[in-house]
Amino acid sequence: MCLDDQILNTYLDGELGEPWKTQVIEHLNYCVACNTRLEQLKRLRETLLSSALTQQEIQPHQEKVLSFIEKNIIEKKHINIFRKTFRVSMPMVMATAAAFVVILTGVLLFTRPDGLPTGQIIPNVAIPSAGSVVQVRATENLSAAKLLENFTLEEILQYLSSRGYEVEVKVKEIQPVVHQTDQNEIGSEKPAEEPTVEQ
Amino acid sequence: MEVHSSDSKSFRSVYEQVFPVVMRVAYHITYNMDVSEDICQEAFIRFYEKGIDFQSVDEAKYWLIRVVKNMSINVIKRKAREDATVERLKKAPSLPILNGEQALIGDETRAMVRSAVERLPEKLKSVLVLKEYADLNYKQIAGILRISESNVKVRVHRARKIMESMLDREEMHVS
Ligand SMILES: [Zn+2]
Protein backbone atom coordinates (compact mmCIF):
# COMPACT_ATOMS: atom_id res chain seq x y z
CA MET A 1 0.00 0.00 0.00
CA CYS A 2 1.28 3.44 -0.91
CA LEU A 3 2.11 6.24 1.51
CA ASP A 4 -0.27 9.12 2.05
CA ASP A 5 0.69 12.79 2.06
CA GLN A 6 0.40 13.09 5.80
CA ILE A 7 3.02 10.38 6.31
CA LEU A 8 5.24 11.80 3.61
CA ASN A 9 5.04 15.30 5.07
CA THR A 10 5.88 14.02 8.52
CA TYR A 11 8.77 12.07 7.06
CA LEU A 12 9.92 15.10 5.12
CA ASP A 13 9.94 17.16 8.31
CA GLY A 14 12.11 14.53 10.00
CA GLU A 15 9.36 13.91 12.53
CA LEU A 16 8.38 10.36 11.71
CA GLY A 17 9.11 7.92 14.54
CA GLU A 18 10.01 4.27 14.34
CA PRO A 19 8.96 1.78 13.16
CA TRP A 20 7.16 3.87 10.53
CA LYS A 21 10.28 5.61 9.41
CA THR A 22 12.02 2.38 8.46
CA GLN A 23 8.91 1.20 6.66
CA VAL A 24 8.71 4.43 4.71
CA ILE A 25 12.35 4.20 3.70
CA GLU A 26 11.85 0.62 2.55
CA HIS A 27 8.81 1.58 0.54
CA LEU A 28 10.60 4.51 -1.06
CA ASN A 29 13.32 2.12 -2.15
CA TYR A 30 11.11 0.65 -4.82
CA CYS A 31 7.97 2.79 -5.28
CA VAL A 32 8.27 5.34 -8.08
CA ALA A 33 4.89 6.94 -7.41
CA CYS A 34 5.70 7.72 -3.79
CA ASN A 35 9.14 9.07 -4.71
CA THR A 36 7.53 11.39 -7.21
CA ARG A 37 5.04 12.58 -4.63
CA LEU A 38 7.80 13.11 -2.07
CA GLU A 39 9.67 15.21 -4.61
CA GLN A 40 6.60 17.36 -5.20
CA LEU A 41 6.15 17.94 -1.48
CA LYS A 42 9.82 18.82 -1.19
CA ARG A 43 9.52 21.33 -3.98
CA LEU A 44 6.50 22.92 -2.35
CA ARG A 45 8.52 23.41 0.81
CA GLU A 46 11.41 24.85 -1.13
CA THR A 47 9.08 27.29 -2.83
CA LEU A 48 7.83 28.49 0.55
CA LEU A 49 11.32 28.71 1.98
CA SER A 50 12.60 30.62 -1.02
CA SER A 51 10.07 33.35 -0.38
CA ALA A 52 11.22 33.91 3.20
CA LEU A 53 12.39 37.32 4.27
CA THR A 54 16.17 37.33 3.98
CA GLN A 55 18.67 38.35 6.63
CA GLN A 56 19.66 41.19 4.36
CA GLU A 57 16.13 42.51 4.30
CA ILE A 58 15.82 42.14 8.06
CA GLN A 59 19.11 43.75 9.04
CA PRO A 60 18.18 47.45 8.75
CA HIS A 61 15.06 46.88 10.84
CA GLN A 62 17.01 44.91 13.39
CA GLU A 63 19.44 47.78 13.86
CA LYS A 64 16.78 50.45 13.92
CA VAL A 65 14.63 48.76 16.55
CA LEU A 66 17.63 47.95 18.73
CA SER A 67 18.82 51.50 18.72
CA PHE A 68 15.32 52.73 19.53
CA ILE A 69 15.04 50.37 22.47
CA GLU A 70 18.49 51.18 23.74
CA LYS A 71 17.88 54.91 23.65
CA ASN A 72 14.32 54.99 24.87
CA ILE A 73 13.96 51.99 27.10
CA ILE A 74 17.22 50.60 28.36
CA GLU A 75 19.12 53.81 28.96
CA LYS A 76 16.15 55.79 30.21
CA LYS A 77 15.37 53.26 32.84
CA HIS A 78 18.28 54.35 34.95
CA ILE A 79 17.68 58.03 34.55
CA ASN A 80 14.10 58.53 35.48
CA ILE A 81 12.17 55.99 37.45
CA PHE A 82 9.03 58.07 37.08
CA ARG A 83 9.28 57.99 33.36
CA LYS A 84 5.92 57.37 31.93
CA THR A 85 5.84 55.78 28.55
CA PHE A 86 3.00 57.09 26.52
CA ARG A 87 2.65 54.96 23.51
CA VAL A 88 -0.41 55.24 21.40
CA SER A 89 -0.91 53.22 18.30
CA MET A 90 -1.92 55.18 15.29
CA PRO A 91 -3.81 53.61 12.45
CA MET A 92 -2.26 53.30 9.06
CA VAL A 93 -4.95 55.45 7.61
CA MET A 94 -4.51 58.71 9.40
CA ALA A 95 -7.97 60.01 8.64
CA THR A 96 -9.43 57.00 10.30
CA ALA A 97 -7.11 57.54 13.21
CA ALA A 98 -8.43 60.95 14.00
CA ALA A 99 -11.99 59.81 13.76
CA PHE A 100 -11.28 56.84 15.93
CA VAL A 101 -9.59 58.76 18.69
CA VAL A 102 -12.28 61.38 18.78
CA ILE A 103 -14.90 58.70 19.10
CA LEU A 104 -13.05 57.15 21.99
CA THR A 105 -12.69 60.52 23.61
CA GLY A 106 -16.42 60.72 23.47
CA VAL A 107 -16.65 57.48 25.34
CA LEU A 108 -14.37 58.77 28.04
CA LEU A 109 -16.52 61.85 28.44
CA PHE A 110 -19.70 59.95 28.72
CA THR A 111 -18.49 57.25 30.99
CA ARG A 112 -16.44 59.25 33.40
CA PRO A 113 -17.41 57.64 36.67
CA ASP A 114 -17.26 60.53 39.09
CA GLY A 115 -19.87 62.52 37.25
CA LEU A 116 -17.93 65.76 37.16
CA PRO A 117 -19.36 68.47 34.95
CA THR A 118 -17.73 68.39 31.56
CA GLY A 119 -16.15 71.81 31.97
CA GLN A 120 -13.91 70.50 34.68
CA ILE A 121 -12.65 67.51 32.83
CA ILE A 122 -11.59 69.32 29.69
CA PRO A 123 -8.18 70.67 30.53
CA ASN A 124 -6.15 73.18 28.66
CA VAL A 125 -4.01 71.46 26.13
CA ALA A 126 -0.63 71.67 27.73
CA ILE A 127 2.83 71.23 26.34
CA PRO A 128 4.00 67.65 26.67
CA SER A 129 5.51 67.16 30.09
CA ALA A 130 9.21 66.57 30.17
CA GLY A 131 9.00 63.11 31.64
CA SER A 132 6.87 61.49 29.03
CA VAL A 133 7.98 59.77 25.91
CA VAL A 134 5.75 60.28 22.97
CA GLN A 135 6.20 57.67 20.35
CA VAL A 136 4.27 57.39 17.14
CA ARG A 137 3.62 53.96 15.91
CA ALA A 138 3.42 53.57 12.20
CA THR A 139 0.48 51.35 12.62
CA GLU A 140 -2.47 50.87 14.78
CA ASN A 141 -1.38 47.56 16.01
CA LEU A 142 -1.90 46.26 19.44
CA SER A 143 -4.78 47.28 21.54
CA ALA A 144 -5.17 50.96 21.02
CA ALA A 145 -8.52 51.11 22.68
CA LYS A 146 -7.29 49.37 25.76
CA LEU A 147 -4.25 51.60 25.88
CA LEU A 148 -6.29 54.74 25.42
CA GLU A 149 -8.50 53.86 28.33
CA ASN A 150 -5.49 54.01 30.54
CA PHE A 151 -4.90 57.65 29.72
CA THR A 152 -6.65 60.72 30.89
CA LEU A 153 -8.40 62.93 28.45
CA GLU A 154 -5.69 65.49 29.02
CA GLU A 155 -3.03 63.07 27.95
CA ILE A 156 -4.92 62.14 24.84
CA LEU A 157 -5.42 65.77 23.92
CA GLN A 158 -1.78 66.46 24.62
CA TYR A 159 -0.76 63.64 22.43
CA LEU A 160 -2.96 64.69 19.55
CA SER A 161 -1.75 68.23 19.93
CA SER A 162 1.85 67.11 19.86
CA ARG A 163 1.10 65.29 16.63
CA GLY A 164 -0.10 68.50 15.08
CA TYR A 165 -3.80 67.81 15.33
CA GLU A 166 -5.96 70.73 16.09
CA VAL A 167 -8.32 69.27 18.58
CA GLU A 168 -11.64 70.78 19.22
CA VAL A 169 -13.80 69.09 21.78
CA LYS A 170 -17.45 69.82 21.42
CA VAL A 171 -20.09 68.32 23.56
CA LYS A 172 -23.32 68.59 21.73
CA GLU A 173 -25.50 67.07 24.28
CA ILE A 174 -24.75 65.88 27.70
CA GLN A 175 -27.05 63.86 29.81
CA PRO A 176 -26.29 62.73 33.28
CA VAL A 177 -26.89 59.12 32.35
CA VAL A 178 -24.56 57.11 30.15
CA HIS A 179 -25.63 57.15 26.51
CA GLN A 180 -26.58 53.58 26.09
CA THR A 181 -27.04 53.71 22.33
CA ASP A 182 -23.84 55.62 21.63
CA GLN A 183 -21.97 53.16 23.72
CA ASN A 184 -23.28 50.21 21.89
CA GLU A 185 -22.54 51.69 18.55
CA ILE A 186 -19.00 52.39 19.54
CA GLY A 187 -18.69 49.04 21.20
CA SER A 188 -19.38 47.39 17.90
CA GLU A 189 -16.12 48.61 16.48
CA LYS A 190 -14.18 47.96 19.58
CA PRO A 191 -10.87 46.55 18.46
CA ALA A 192 -8.31 44.20 19.78
CA GLU A 193 -9.01 41.50 22.21
CA GLU A 194 -6.16 40.21 24.22
CA PRO A 195 -3.79 38.27 22.02
CA THR A 196 -5.55 35.06 21.24
CA VAL A 197 -4.39 31.84 22.71
CA GLU A 198 -4.90 29.09 20.27
CA GLN A 199 -6.80 26.07 21.34
CA MET B 1 22.36 29.78 29.93
CA GLU B 2 19.74 31.50 32.06
CA VAL B 3 18.21 34.65 30.71
CA HIS B 4 16.88 37.55 32.66
CA SER B 5 15.01 39.71 30.19
CA SER B 6 15.71 43.02 31.94
CA ASP B 7 19.42 42.42 32.09
CA SER B 8 20.79 44.47 29.24
CA LYS B 9 23.48 41.95 28.39
CA SER B 10 21.03 39.04 28.17
CA PHE B 11 18.64 41.27 26.35
CA ARG B 12 21.14 42.05 23.63
CA SER B 13 22.14 38.46 23.23
CA VAL B 14 18.55 37.27 22.89
CA TYR B 15 17.78 40.16 20.59
CA GLU B 16 20.65 39.31 18.30
CA GLN B 17 19.52 35.71 17.93
CA VAL B 18 15.78 36.06 17.98
CA PHE B 19 15.00 39.26 16.11
CA PRO B 20 15.34 37.76 12.61
CA VAL B 21 13.06 34.87 13.58
CA VAL B 22 10.29 37.02 15.02
CA MET B 23 10.60 39.46 12.16
CA ARG B 24 9.98 36.61 9.73
CA VAL B 25 7.03 35.39 11.76
CA ALA B 26 5.46 38.85 11.82
CA TYR B 27 6.18 39.49 8.18
CA HIS B 28 4.78 36.24 6.85
CA ILE B 29 1.58 36.82 8.78
CA THR B 30 1.07 40.53 8.09
CA TYR B 31 3.12 40.89 4.90
CA ASN B 32 3.96 44.45 5.80
CA MET B 33 7.47 45.45 6.83
CA ASP B 34 6.50 48.55 8.81
CA VAL B 35 3.85 46.72 10.75
CA SER B 36 6.23 43.85 11.40
CA GLU B 37 8.91 46.17 12.67
CA ASP B 38 6.41 47.77 15.02
CA ILE B 39 5.24 44.47 16.34
CA CYS B 40 8.76 43.25 16.98
CA GLN B 41 9.70 46.47 18.68
CA GLU B 42 6.69 46.27 20.93
CA ALA B 43 7.40 42.64 21.75
CA PHE B 44 11.01 43.30 22.70
CA ILE B 45 10.02 46.30 24.79
CA ARG B 46 7.56 44.14 26.69
CA PHE B 47 10.18 41.46 26.99
CA TYR B 48 12.63 43.92 28.50
CA GLU B 49 10.18 45.68 30.75
CA LYS B 50 8.58 42.58 32.18
CA GLY B 51 11.81 41.30 33.66
CA ILE B 52 11.09 37.63 33.18
CA ASP B 53 13.51 34.83 34.00
CA PHE B 54 13.91 32.17 31.34
CA GLN B 55 15.79 28.94 31.68
CA SER B 56 17.38 29.27 28.29
CA VAL B 57 17.59 31.46 25.21
CA ASP B 58 15.21 29.03 23.52
CA GLU B 59 12.58 29.57 26.21
CA ALA B 60 12.90 33.31 25.71
CA LYS B 61 12.62 32.77 21.98
CA TYR B 62 9.39 30.77 22.35
CA TRP B 63 7.94 33.52 24.54
CA LEU B 64 8.79 36.18 21.98
CA ILE B 65 7.49 34.13 19.08
CA ARG B 66 4.19 33.56 20.88
CA VAL B 67 3.79 37.27 21.61
CA VAL B 68 4.71 38.31 18.08
CA LYS B 69 2.49 35.71 16.49
CA ASN B 70 -0.49 36.81 18.59
CA MET B 71 0.08 40.47 17.84
CA SER B 72 0.42 39.73 14.15
CA ILE B 73 -2.80 37.77 14.05
CA ASN B 74 -4.55 40.58 15.91
CA VAL B 75 -3.28 43.10 13.42
CA ILE B 76 -4.64 41.24 10.42
CA LYS B 77 -7.96 40.61 12.16
CA ARG B 78 -8.16 44.22 13.08
CA LYS B 79 -7.16 45.33 9.64
CA ALA B 80 -10.04 43.37 8.22
CA ARG B 81 -12.45 44.95 10.68
CA GLU B 82 -11.03 48.39 10.06
CA ASP B 83 -11.41 48.01 6.32
CA ALA B 84 -15.00 47.07 6.86
CA THR B 85 -15.54 50.08 9.12
CA VAL B 86 -13.86 52.50 6.76
CA GLU B 87 -15.91 51.10 3.97
CA ARG B 88 -19.07 51.50 5.99
CA LEU B 89 -18.43 55.03 7.17
CA LYS B 90 -16.95 56.13 3.88
CA LYS B 91 -14.82 58.47 5.93
CA ALA B 92 -11.64 57.98 4.01
CA PRO B 93 -10.77 56.44 0.70
CA SER B 94 -9.22 53.09 1.40
CA LEU B 95 -5.55 53.31 0.79
CA PRO B 96 -3.43 50.42 -0.29
CA ILE B 97 -2.16 48.83 2.91
CA LEU B 98 1.12 47.76 1.65
CA ASN B 99 3.25 50.80 1.23
CA GLY B 100 6.93 50.00 1.17
CA GLU B 101 6.00 46.52 0.16
CA GLN B 102 6.32 46.50 -3.58
CA ALA B 103 10.07 46.68 -3.43
CA LEU B 104 10.20 43.34 -1.68
CA ILE B 105 8.17 41.38 -4.08
CA GLY B 106 10.79 41.15 -6.71
CA ASP B 107 9.65 37.97 -8.26
CA GLU B 108 6.50 36.17 -9.06
CA THR B 109 7.11 33.24 -6.76
CA ARG B 110 7.16 35.48 -3.74
CA ALA B 111 3.97 37.17 -4.79
CA MET B 112 2.24 33.86 -5.36
CA VAL B 113 3.35 32.40 -2.06
CA ARG B 114 2.28 35.53 -0.29
CA SER B 115 -1.19 35.58 -1.73
CA ALA B 116 -1.62 31.90 -0.91
CA VAL B 117 -0.41 32.31 2.69
CA GLU B 118 -2.69 35.31 3.12
CA ARG B 119 -5.68 33.23 2.18
CA LEU B 120 -4.95 30.40 4.63
CA PRO B 121 -7.29 30.09 7.59
CA GLU B 122 -5.71 31.58 10.69
CA LYS B 123 -4.96 28.35 12.51
CA LEU B 124 -3.25 26.77 9.56
CA LYS B 125 -1.41 29.97 8.82
CA SER B 126 0.08 30.17 12.31
CA VAL B 127 1.33 26.62 12.14
CA LEU B 128 2.72 26.92 8.64
CA VAL B 129 4.52 30.18 9.34
CA LEU B 130 6.11 28.79 12.49
CA LYS B 131 7.10 25.63 10.66
CA GLU B 132 8.58 27.16 7.52
CA TYR B 133 9.61 30.64 8.54
CA ALA B 134 10.62 30.20 12.16
CA ASP B 135 12.21 26.84 11.51
CA LEU B 136 10.63 25.09 14.48
CA ASN B 137 9.81 21.43 14.96
CA TYR B 138 6.37 20.03 15.80
CA LYS B 139 7.08 19.89 19.49
CA GLN B 140 8.26 23.50 19.66
CA ILE B 141 5.27 24.70 17.68
CA ALA B 142 2.93 22.72 19.92
CA GLY B 143 4.45 24.39 22.96
CA ILE B 144 4.16 27.89 21.52
CA LEU B 145 0.60 27.47 20.29
CA ARG B 146 -0.41 25.35 23.27
CA ILE B 147 -1.85 22.61 21.11
CA SER B 148 -0.88 18.95 20.83
CA GLU B 149 1.90 17.71 18.61
CA SER B 150 -0.46 15.57 16.61
CA ASN B 151 -2.58 18.62 16.04
CA VAL B 152 0.48 20.42 14.71
CA LYS B 153 1.21 17.51 12.41
CA VAL B 154 -2.30 17.53 10.99
CA ARG B 155 -2.31 21.29 10.51
CA VAL B 156 1.06 21.31 8.76
CA HIS B 157 -0.30 18.71 6.38
CA ARG B 158 -3.56 20.57 5.76
CA ALA B 159 -1.82 23.88 5.28
CA ARG B 160 0.53 22.40 2.69
CA LYS B 161 -2.32 20.74 0.90
CA ILE B 162 -4.16 24.04 0.56
CA MET B 163 -0.97 25.88 -0.36
CA GLU B 164 -0.26 23.37 -3.05
CA SER B 165 -3.65 23.68 -4.66
CA MET B 166 -3.59 27.48 -4.47
CA LEU B 167 -0.11 27.67 -5.95
CA ASP B 168 -1.07 25.31 -8.77
CA ARG B 169 -4.01 27.52 -9.57
CA GLU B 170 -1.87 30.65 -9.49
CA GLU B 171 0.67 29.13 -11.78
CA MET B 172 -2.01 28.37 -14.29
CA HIS B 173 -3.17 31.97 -14.12
CA VAL B 174 0.34 33.25 -14.67
CA SER B 175 1.25 31.04 -17.58
ZN1 LIG C 1 4.11 4.01 -3.02
Q: What is the pLDDT of residues B76-134, one digit of tens each?
A: 998 888 777 766 665 444 444 444 444 444 578 899 999 999 999 999 999 999 999 99
Alpha-carbon span A25 to A11, nearest angstrom = 9
Per domain, the residue ranges of chain B are 1-92, 96-175
Domain count of the fold of chain A: 1
> A76 lies in a domain?
no
> A9 lies in a domain?
yes
The DSSP bridge partners found for residue A91 are: none
**Helices (runs of H) and strands (runs of E) counted in chain A:** 10, 2
Q: Are the C-beta atoms of A8 and A34 separated by less than 8 Å?
A: yes
Query: Closest-CA residue in chain A for B41?
Result: A65
User: Could you list the residue range(s) of the whole structural domain that residue A30 is in?
Assistant: 5-50
Q: Supply the ipTM of this predicted assembly.
A: 0.83
Mark yes or no for CB contact A195/B11 under 8 Å: no
Nearest by CB to B113, from A48, A66, A193: name it.
A48
Element containing residue B138 per DSSP (H, E): helix B138-145
Query: Closest-CA residue in chain A for B136?
Result: A13
Closest-CA distance of chain B to residue A54, Å = 8
For the domain B96-175, what is the CATH code? 1.10.10.10
Split at pLDDT 50, 70, 90, the class of B173 is: low
> A27 lies in a domain?
yes
> A56 lies in a domain?
no
> A22 lies in a domain?
yes
Predicted pLDDT at B169: 80
pTM of the predicted model as reported, rounded to 2 decimal places: 0.65
How distant is the alpha carbon of residue B148 from its chain centre?
A: 20
> A101 lies in a domain?
no
Q: Are the C-beta atoms of B19 and A62 separated by less than 8 Å?
A: yes
A49 CB within 8 Å of a chain B CB: yes
Mark yes or no for CB contact B23/A58 under 8 Å: yes
pLDDT at A76 over 80: no
Does the B1-92 domain belong in CATH 1.10.1740.10? yes
